[in-house]
Each structure stands twice: as structure tokens, then as C-alpha cells.
Structure 1
Amino acid sequence: MTLINRTTPTRDGSTPLPQSPAEIRAERRRIIESIRALRRLLKKRGAFEVADRRRLNREAGHRKRAETAHTETLRRIDEQQARQERSVTHDLSSLDGKREQQEAQALAVLRREFIARRLRNTPLSVSELNGLGTGLIRDLATQGISTAADFTHVSWDKAPNGKGGNVLYIHRTDGRRVHINGIGQHRSRPLMEWRQAALARAEARAPRTLPPDERHRISEITEITEAERARLRQELTKTAHAAVTARTEAGQLHAETLERLAGTERDAARLAAERRAEFDAMAEQLLTLQSELSAHMDRYGDAGLRIRRAQRRALRPIRDVPTLPAIPSPRSPVGLADKTDAAPAPTPRDRASLGWLLPILYFGFTTVVGVGELADNTAPVGLMISSRLVALAATTELLRLWIPRRRRHTPGPMPSGIGWQISGMFLALAAAGMFADEKSDVFGAACAVSVLAALLLLAGTGLRIRPPEPVQSS
């Protein structure tokens, strides 16, 4: 298409001065370069959104660690309070009933001393011990037994020299045992009865209540015990107050930490919103420049083959980068969506189909085996080389177009007209094989296939080189 220099009225009704082809191309290049610069800047939006999501994850992690630390601090405070309260409560319980215990112990000591004193004042005498004479009493005194307090009981055991069988032993109060010749089973019975009678008289006469002086001494000890109980109760109250204070301080520290994190999050969110607003503004500016480029193409037509591809790339739709759901863009997404309705971004369903693998595999196979060389056929050398070159060119072109349109970041349909061209090349190779087949009379069919292949190639080429329709802005 040749360059058309037209003049259209402006909004105020005046007719602008016509521009030269060089000025038109320069203006169009300026718009295209501006679009390229904006596209390079908008490419950074994906990385920005990923970084912003990582920021949100870090902030959530900081908040979680703050909550965990606060919970752990409260747990340690509760454990320390419980441990101190158990210790103080145990000490308090040990003080309960201490006076009664001391009085019982003092009375038991007093009775024990009284009984021991009465037994020491009860000597052995012939008049009170039937069957024991003066000699045996003297022998007992020689062995340290002269009163009822000097022995406790008797028992039978082997003789000291190991001869004569078992003999009677008298157990002294100090733990020793002695054997007195002449005291056996018959004489030991009155001896033990006499001691038990003396012990019963002593126990009956022993005091059953404490004297006043002993009670006063125990009362003084009880006052000390009550003072200790009051101190322990005060310590228990202090422990509860200290736990409440520690919890309050931990809550204040936790609130300060959360406030600091919230302030940092607000600042980061504000910067992210400003950055997102910049990207939105650049996207709107890009749409405006695309509309301006379309209007320029409508007004002045084609500017030449060299700039044609740059125009197509400049008019590509903006790839949509969704913002985080937690932080919406400060600009209205509805207005931006309305402006991009005329040129929607590629979606997964616009991705090149896997069905294109079939022609790719076919042309790759033809690159290896050629055309008209199967079975016993032998193709001319020129056909062998040219068919392989054509098949290699078709395979390379298909891969060049198909692979980028299958990627996640650059999806899109195959170019218009490529199907017609591939079909024409397939029929052309098939016609070449039919011409090389000398055993079959398919010359007429080969000519018809060749004509059809040429038509398909011409139609596909026309669709490929036809400029895209300009984007109409609403």
C-alpha cells in the first residue's frame, strides 16, 4: 500500500497543513518508541506484584511470630505463678496444726521422762520379787540391773559358750543382754511381772496435761508460727499481683509490637499503592498511545514495509497482570477494563493448539526422507534437495511461530494465513512426489494438486502480509 497524504478537518473545523512522508514516518516512529518505552516499564509490574505478595507473606509471618511470642510469655508467667503458689501453699499447709502437734510432742516427752524417772526410783528388792534371793539380786546389780528402768524384757537364746542349749537373757535398756546363772523361766516370770506392774503405776501417775510454763513456751512458738503464716499469705498475694503486673506489661509490649508492625505495613502498603497507581497510569497512557497510533494509521495509511511490523507489535494488547486481592489498585479497575475491551489480553484459550504438532512432525519427517523416495522410487537429485529444503523451512517457521504462543507468558493464536500456507506447502510436496512417481499415471492429478497448492500459498501469503485492522477506541 502506498503512502496516502490526506488532510482531514480538525475538531475546530480548520484543515491542517499536509505533512510530508518523512514527517509522517517520524511521527509514527515517535509514537511507536513511546509505546515500546511504556511496555518496557509495564513489564516490571509482574515482578512488582510478586514482590508485594512476598511482602504480605513476610508481614503475616512477623505478626504470627509476635502472637507466638506473646502467647509463650503468658504461658511462662502462668507457670511461674503456679509454681510459686504451690510452694507457698505447701508451706502454709505444713503450719496448720503445728501447735497441737507441739503440745502433743511436749506432753509425750514429759510423760516419758516422768515414767523413766519413776522406774529409776523403783529398785529391785527381795520383798517384792518372789523366788529371787539376795544373791541373785546382787548378781543382777553386778550386771547393771538394779532398778525397773535398767531392763526391758527377756528372751531365750543359745548359751554364751555354745554349750548347754538355750539360756535366758535379760535385755538391758542400753541394748546389751546379760545372762544370770540361776535365773531361768520360773524366776524370769516374777521379774517381768514386777517390772510391768511398776511401769503401769508410773504410766497411771504420769501427767496428762502440760504445766502452765510449758504451755506458755508453746504459745510463744505458736506466735512465731502465726507470723510465718501471715508472711506466707502476704507472699501469696504478692505473687498474684506480680503475675497481673507481668501480664499487663506483656500485653503493652505486644500492643506496641503490633502497632509498630501496623505502621510499617501502612507505609509499605502506601508505597505499593503509589507504585500500582503508576503502573495503572502507564497502562492508561499506553492505551492512549495505541489509540493515537491507530488514528494516525487511519489518517495517513501505511508508512512502509520497514515500520509495518513495529506497528503490529505496538498494537498488541496489554498483558493483564492481576493485582493482589488484598490490596486493590487505587484506580478504578472498571474504567481500565472498559478501555481494553477492544483489545483484550490473551487468555489460556487463545494459546496455540497442540494440533500444530501434526504438520510439524510431518515436515520434520519429510526433511529426513524427502519426497518420492519411498519403496522402489528414485527421485531426481534436484527434487531430493529442494523437497528437503522446503520441508526444513516449513518446520523451522512452524516452530518459530508455535513455541512462543504456547508459553505461559506469551500465549496467543497462530497468525492468520499460516494454515493456508502450510496446506499449500503440503499439497506442493505431494504434487512433487506424484510427478516423481514414474510407475503411476497421475500426471493430471499432479497438475490439479499443484494449481490448488499455488492458490493456497497465495491466499495464505496475502493473509499474512495484510495489515491488521486498527484498534478502535471507544
Structure 2
Amino acid sequence: MIDSTPTRRDGSTPAPPSTVPYPSATRAERRQLIESIRALRRLLDKRPAFEISDQQRLNREARDRNRAEAIHGKALQRIHERRARQEASLSQQLNGLDGKRESQETRALVVLRRESIERTLSRTYLTSSEVNGIGKGLIRDLAAHGIRTAADFERVSWEKAPNGKGGDVLYIHRTKGGKVHINGIGQHRGRPLLEWRQSVLARAEARAPHRLPPDERHRIAEIIDAERVRLRKELAEAPRAADKARKEATQLQTETLSRLTTAEEEASRLAAVRRAEFDAMAEKLLDIQTQLSAHMDTYGDIGRRLRRAQHRALRPIPQAPPLSGTAGDAPALVSLTKVTDRTSEPHPTSGTRAHPAWLVPILYFTLTTVVGVGELGDNTASLSLMITSRLVAFTATAELLRLWVPRIRWRAASPMPSGTGWQTSGVFLGLTAAGMFADEHSDVFETACVVSVLAGLCLLAGTGLRIGKDTTSP
């Protein structure tokens, strides 16, 4: 006969349940221990969220440091580029000063000659002795219209008369604008008048200076020298300005890093205090579990109502996830994916969704389920082909939807299984070959045979990849 009397953990045998009294104080003490364990577990359940939040803080601090370093690097790059552009521009201006001096001297000489010619023309008065055929009366008429010197008119031309009658007349074009017609001055008098002005202009150009005076050349040289001194000073100042800007950028970077370090140290200190509180609670929970075990060894089972609560209270404490970095260093960014104990199950990869392009074969197979293959136009497919093609297309549609729909969700995102593309291509080519075989109006039998062989190869390759993936997956 087998002895069913329970044995305590210390080896002693408690009294039968029917003879052992269970006073209310013992039950209350047992319940108090269980409630204390429950309260501590509720507090410790907040630790995973705290660890995730602290890891997010470390990642955020790492991003802030990386951003500060990137900003500092871009600032130094901009300073270097600005200095290079400034030095190149100043060097180009320095090299072009000689050409600038020559151009300024040329422009000054042009202005000087023009002024000399204008003075000569304005001092040469029109007289009856200078122009053949023009007497004192015409001289007075010309003066009445503002033409007294060679500088007062430019040219002559033949145009229609002011009243539109009498044909063309000669007009004298004034330098300040406008044209006048003098009665008595026609072709025979207008040509000598124009030749007189051209001869005066030729003499004025010949007498005009062909070189700048020394004082004018000296003035231009002083302007160019002053410009050269200024450019050289700016060129020498460019490195010092770049160094100053670089020091300011470095000082700003130092202040930013110091501020980040201070904030990180304070956050790490608070996190360490909070983590120490969780550790203290875990130790206290172990002590109370030890007390509960001792209480159970002393008094044994005191009722069915507390049996399940005791079992749940004595569960092991979940271990806290380890940290991937410390507060003093710049930790690398860590993915906060929840880890479970079911390592044999494939975990979805958040962010890697199935491609939306899978909608194309899904829509094609859906359309084929409705219209079939080999039934468009004047073709009439056999009953077996009509049924088989629709069943194959419906099966392919259902399978693709089964694989694709869960994988486009964010929480269950993952790529399509390996070999699905080959299988889809094989079904597509198979339906195409069936439609070609059913085509009665064109001779595509050989092409249909080739397409059907390719469909079989694609199906075999896709099935092999799917089976191989399933067998090698843990």
C-alpha cells in the first residue's frame, strides 16, 4: 500500500489536515505575505517600460551628440569654402589690376579726346568765307535756327517737304536733336556745308591728344595702387577671419557638448536612483518570497483558495534587460524590439513590409478568375479549361492575399516568403500557355510549348525555395 501522507521541505511530516487547526491569524499572515508580493510585483512590472524609456534616452542623447558633431563639421566646411572663395576672388582681382589700369587709361583718353574735339567744334564758327555758296543771309538764317558752329549740327539728309508739296528738301540735323529746313539751302549748298563740318572734325581729331597727360596717368596709377593695397590687406585678413570663425564654431561646439554632458549626467543619475529602487524592491520581493516559503513549510497548505495565489506569488522575478551603453559614453543607437522566449517562432521585422507591387499579380489573377483564359474575342475555350483556369487563378489570388495582407501591417511587417515570386511567375506563364493552346486563330503551338516549359521550371524553382526555407528555418 502506498503512503500518501505529505512531507514538508525540512523532512518532517505535518499532521493530517483534519487535525491541524488553521486559525484566522495564520491565514491573515499568509494573505499579508501574498498581498505584499503582489504589490511589489505591480511596482516591478514598471521596470521594463522604464528600461525601454532609459534606452530611448540613451539613443536620443547619441542622436543629439551626432547632430552636434554634424553641425560643427558643416560649419567648419562652410568656413573653409568661404575662405577659399574669398581668396580666389581677391587673387583674381589682384591679377586683373594691370588690365584695369590700361582700361581706365583708355577710357580717360577717349573722354579727353572727345572733350577736345567738342571744344574745337564749338569754337569753329560758320562764316560765309568758309563755305562756298552760303552768304551772310543764309548764315543769319542758320543762326536763327541755332546753327552757328560746327558743333551745332551733325549731318544733312533729303526728305519730304514739311507741307508735303514740292518734293524732297534738304534737312539739317542738329546735334541737340531735331532737324530744320532752311529755304535757299539745297543740294548745291548742303554738300559744301557738310564737307566743311567734316573737314573741321578731321582737323579737331588730328589736334586732339593721343596720350594722357602725366598728371592724369599718375592719378590713375594712384587709384590702382590704393586698390592693390586694399586687396592685399583683405587677402592677408582672410586667414585670420577664418581662424576667428573657426574658434567661434569650436567654442560653440564645446558649449553644446558641455550642456549635453551635464544633461546626460543628471539623467543618468536619476536613472541610477530609479534603477536602485527597482533593485531594492526586487531584493525585498525575494525576502518576502523566502518568508512565504518558510511560512508554507511551517504551516503547510491552509486552503484551496490560497493555493493558486501562493503558486503565482512564488514565480521567479523577471530579469531586467541589460543596458547597451553608459551615460558617460556616446552609445550607439539600439533598436528597442521586444524580445520573447519563443525563439523558435519567426519574428516580424518592423519596417520591412511586403512591396505594394504585389497588387499587380493579385489584380491579374482576380481578373482571370472572372474572365478565365482563352475566352476573349472569338475564341471558345473548352469547359475543362474554363473551370481549371478559374480555379488556378482563384487559388493563386487567395494564396497571394494570405501571404501579402499580413505583411503590409506595421506590427507584422515582413518580406514575402522566398520563392513566392517564382511561383507567381510560373502560374502566370502557365495560364498564358493555356490561353495560347486554346487560341484557334493563330499558330502559336511551339511558343505555347516553350512558355509551358518555362512555367513548369518557375513552379519547381519557387516550390524548392519555399520548401528549403521552411526546412532550414529554426
- TM category (shorter chain) comes to 0.5 to 0.7
Q: 1:81 to 1:302 in 2, by over 3 A?
A: closer
Deviates more, 1:112-121 or 1:55-64: 55-64
- How far apart, in 2, do the equivalents of 1:4 and 1:62 lie? 58
Q: Deviations over 1:64-113 (max 9, x none)?
A: 45654675677678779978997998799778544334322221121111
Partner of 1:206: 208
Pairing 1:285–2:287 present: yes
Preserved CA contact (<8 Å) 1:169 1:177: yes
Q: How does 1:446-457 map to 2 (within 5 A)?
A: none
Partner of residue 315, structure 2: 318
Change (3 A) 1:80 1:287: same
Superposed counterparts of 1:181-192, under 5 Å: 181-192=183-194
Q: How does 1:75-474 map to 2 (within 5 A)?
A: 96-97=96-97, 98-126=100-128, 128-233=130-235, 236-296=238-298, 302-303=301-302, 307-316=303-312, 317-318=314-315, 321-326=318-323
The answer on whether the counterparts of 2:37 and 2:288 sit within 8 Å (CA) in structure 1 is yes
Cα distance in 2 for partners of 1:48, 1:5 equals 38
CA distance in structure 1 between the aligned counterparts of 2:199 and 2:343, rounded to whole angstroms? 115
Distance 2:198 2:149 in 1: 12
1:405-461: CA deviations, max 9, x gaps? xxxxxxxxxxxxxxxxxxxxxxxxxxxxxxxxxxxxxxxxxxxxxxxxxxxxxxxxx
Q: Secondary structure at the match of 1:315?
A: helix
Letter in 2 for 1:51: F
Q: Secondary structure at the match of 2:182?
A: coil
1:139-177 deviation per Cα after TM superposition (whole angstroms, max 9, x unaligned):
334433233222111233443445434422212222242
* Residue of structure 2 equivalent to 1:448: none
> Match for 1:246: what amino acid?
E
> How has the CA–CA distance of structure 1 residues 157 and 231 changed in structure 2, closer, same or farther, with 3 Å as cutoff?
farther
Match of 1:43 in 2: 42
Q: Bigger shift: 229-238 or 40-49? A: 229-238
State the distance in 2 between where 1:302 and 1:322 align: 29
Task: Determine if contact 2:134/2:189 at 8 Å carries over to the other structure.
Answer: yes
TM-aligned CA distance change 1:348 to 1:149, over 3 Å: closer
Distance in 1 (CA, whole Å) between partners of 2:342 and 2:140 is 127
**Amino acid corresponding to residue 326 of structure 1 in structure 2:** L
Q: TM-score, normalising length from structure 1?
A: 0.54
Residues 192 and 44 of structure 1: CA distance in aligned 2, closer, same or farther (over 3 Å) = same
Partner-residue secondary structure (3-state), 2:171: strand
1:271 is displaced (CA, Å) by 1.7
Distance in 2 (alpha carbons) for counterparts of 1:103 and 1:195: 29
Identity of matched residues, %: 37
Q: Which residue of 1 aligns with 2:351?
A: none
What is the aligned-residue RMSD (CA, Å)? 4.5
Q: Match of 1:353?
A: none
Aligned residues: 318
Q: Which amino acid aligns with 2:214?
A: P
Q: Hey, what's the Cα distance between the residues in 1 that align with 2:128 and 2:210? A: 33
Can you list the C-alpha shifts for 1:362-415, whole angstroms capped at 9, x where unaligned? xxxxxxxxxxxxxxxxxxxxxxxxxxxxxxxxxxxxxxxxxxxxxxxxxxxxxx
CA contact (8 A) 1:153 1:170 kept: yes
Change (3 A) 1:85 1:178: farther
Pair 296,28 (structure 1): closer, same or farther in 2 beyond 3 Å:
farther
Q: State which structure, 1 or 2, has the greater radius of gyration over its C-alpha atoms.
A: 1
Q: Tell me the equivalent position of 1:33.
A: 32
Counterparts of 2:277 and 2:101 in 1: how far apart (Å)?
80
Higher mean alpha-carbon deviation, 315-324 vs 201-210, is at 315-324
Name structure 1 gaps, 5 residues minimum.
Answer: 11-19, 329-345, 350-474
C-alpha distance in 2 between matches for 1:248 and 1:293? 66
**Runs of 5+ in structure 2 lacking a partner?**
13-18, 326-340, 345-474
Shift of 1:40: 1.6
Opposite residue 202 of structure 1, the aligned amino acid is: A
SS of the residue 1:156 aligns to: strand
- Give distance in 2, aligned partners of 1:202 and 1:119: 7
Q: Which moved more, 1:81-90 or 1:98-107?
A: 81-90
Residue 194 (structure 1) shift = 2.5
Q: Distance in 2 between matches of 1:9 and 1:176?
A: 136
Note the alpha carbon deviations across 1:214-270, whole angstroms, 9 max, x for none.
122223333432344345435644542342123112211221122113212321332
SS of 1:171's equivalent in the other structure is strand
